[in-house]
C-alpha cells in the first residue's frame, strides 16, 4: 500500500511575509497522519516556509532548480542551496516550465539526476496538451516524457521519486480529467516504469494526478488504484487544501 502524497504548488504567488502568515495559519488545520503533505513555494520564500512549518510533519518543496553544482548561472538555484535551506522536494518539468521557459526532456533528466544525487525527492511532471489528447497520442507522448526523465537513473535511485501526471488542458482551467481518464494514464505510466525497471519499482513509485484538483473531486480521484495523491495548484492556497489532505489519509 503506497502512502499518499498531497503537494501544493503555489507557483509565482505570495511574498515571503504572506507565505509565513498562510503556513502558520494552515499548519494547525492540516492532519498529516498517514499522508505526506508538502508545499512547493517560490524560491525566495523557501526559508520562510521551512521555518513556518518547523515542528510539524509538513515538508517544503521548491518549484524548480538547476542541474549544475554552482557557478556562472545568473538567477539559478542549485540543489545544495535547497538542501541547506531545508527543502526536501522539488517539482521538475512542470508544464509551465516546459512551455514558457522552454525546458525539454534532456534538461529535465539532468535536473532529476542532480536532485537525486542531493537526496532531494523530485516530483517529475508529465502530461499532454488537449491537441495531443484529441489526436490519440497521449500515452505515447507521456511515455516518452517518462522514459527521458529516467534516462540513466538506476532502479535504486528511481525508487523514491514521485511522478505527477498533469494533463495541460486541466491545469488552472477548472477542467478536471475524469477519474477514469486520470487512472488510465497513471496506470500506463506505472506500466512504463515496470518496463524500464521492474514490478517492484513500479509498485513503489508514487504517481500523483494534477489539474484542477479541489475538495469536490479529490475523493474520487484519490480512490483510483494508480493515483497516489495530488499535485494541487489553485486549491492549495485555500482553506479547502486541508480537506483535500483528508481524502489522502
Please give the Cα distance from 182 to 184 (Å, whole number). 5
Q: Which of residues 148-177 bind ligand PEP (CB under 6 A)?
A: 166, 171-172
Stretch that binds ligand PEP, among 15-23, 126-134, 146-154, 231-239 (CB under 6 A): 231-239
Residue 42 makes contact with ligand PEP by CB under 6 A: no
Contact between 187 and 139 under an 8 Å Cβ cutoff? The reply is no
Residue 210 makes contact with ligand PEP by CB under 6 A: yes
93 belongs to an annotated ligand binding site = no
Residue 32 makes contact with ligand PEP by CB under 6 A: no
According to DSSP, the residues that pair with 170 across neighbouring strands are none
Residue 233 makes contact with ligand PEP by CB under 6 A: yes
Q: Which backbone phi and psi does 93 adopt, to 5 degrees?
A: 75, 25
Question: Quick one: cell of 33?
Answer: 497522519
Closest to ligand PEP by CB, 138 vs 201, is 138
Residue closest to 58 by CA, chosen among 80, 86, 77, 18:
86
DSSP 2: P
88 belongs to an annotated ligand binding site = no
Please give the Cα distance from 124 to 106 (Å, whole number). 13
166 is catalytic: yes
Which residue out of 94, 96, 128, 143 is catalytically annotated?
Answer: 94
Residue 183 makes contact with ligand PEP by CB under 6 A: no
Report DSSP letters for 110-173, one per residue.
HHHHHHHHTTPEEEEEE---HHHHHTT-HHHHHHHHHHHHTTT--HHHHTT-EEEE--GGGTTS
117 is catalytic: no
Closest to ligand PEP by CB, 41 vs 202, is 41
Closest to ligand PEP by CB, 201 vs 233, is 233
Q: HSE-up of 84 (CA within 13 Å, CB side)?
A: 6
Residue nearest to ligand PEP (CB): 233
Q: How far is the CB of 65 from ligand PEP (least distance, A)?
A: 16
9 belongs to an annotated ligand binding site = yes
Contact between 188 and 145 under an 8 Å Cβ cutoff? The reply is no
Stretch that binds ligand PEP, among 19-27, 46-54, 103-111, 230-238 (CB under 6 A): 230-238
Residue 40 makes contact with ligand PEP by CB under 6 A: no
- Site residues for ligand PEP per CB under 6 A: 9, 11, 166, 171-172, 210-213, 231-235
Which positions make up the binding site for substrate? Answer: 9-11, 172, 212, 233-234
- For the annotated catalytic residues, the residue numbers are 94, 166
Amino acid at each position: 500500500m503506497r502512502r499518499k502524497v498531497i503537494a501544493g504548488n503555489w507557483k509565482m504567488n505570495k511574498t515571503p511575509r504572506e507565505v509565513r502568515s498562510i503556513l502558520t495559519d494552515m499548519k494547525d488545520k492540516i492532519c498529516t497522519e498517514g499522508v505526506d503533505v508538502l508545499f512547493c513555494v517560490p524560491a525566495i520564500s523557501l526559508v520562510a516556509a521551512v521555518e513556518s512549518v518547523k515542528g510539524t510533519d509538513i515538508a517544503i518543496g521548491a518549484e524548480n532548480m538547476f542541474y549544475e553544482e554552482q557557478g556562472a548561472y545568473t538567477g539559478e538555484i542549485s540543489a545544495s542551496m535547497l538542501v541547506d535551506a531545508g527543502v526536501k522536494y522539488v517539482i521538475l518539468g512542470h508544464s509551465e516550465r516546459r512551455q514558457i521557459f522552454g525546458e525539454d526532456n534532456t534538461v529535465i533528466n539532468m535536473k532529476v539526476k542532480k536532485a537525486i544525487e542531493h537526496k532531494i525527492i523530485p516530483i517529475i511532471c508529465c502530461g499532454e496538451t488537449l491537441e495531443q489528447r484529441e489526436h490519440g497520442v497521449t500515452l505515447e507522448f507521456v511515455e516518452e516524457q517518462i522514459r527521458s526523465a529516467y534516462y540513466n537513473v538506476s532502479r535504486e535511485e528511481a525508487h523514491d521519486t514521485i511522478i505527477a501526471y498533469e494533463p495541460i488542458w486541466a491545469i488552472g482551467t477548472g477542467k478536471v480529467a475524469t477519474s477514469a481518464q486520470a487512472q488510465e494514464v497513471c496506470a500506463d505510466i506505472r506500466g512504463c516504469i515496470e518496463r524500464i525497471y521492474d514490478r517492484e519499482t513500479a509498485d513503489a513509485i508514487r504517481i500523483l494526478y494534477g489539474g484542477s484538483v479541489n475538495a469536490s473531486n479529490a475523493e474520487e480521484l484519490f480512490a483510483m488504484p494508480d493515483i497516489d495523491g495530488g499535485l494541487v495548484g489553485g486549491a492549495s492556497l485555500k482553506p479547502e487544501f486541508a480537506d483535500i489532505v483528508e481524502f489522502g489519509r
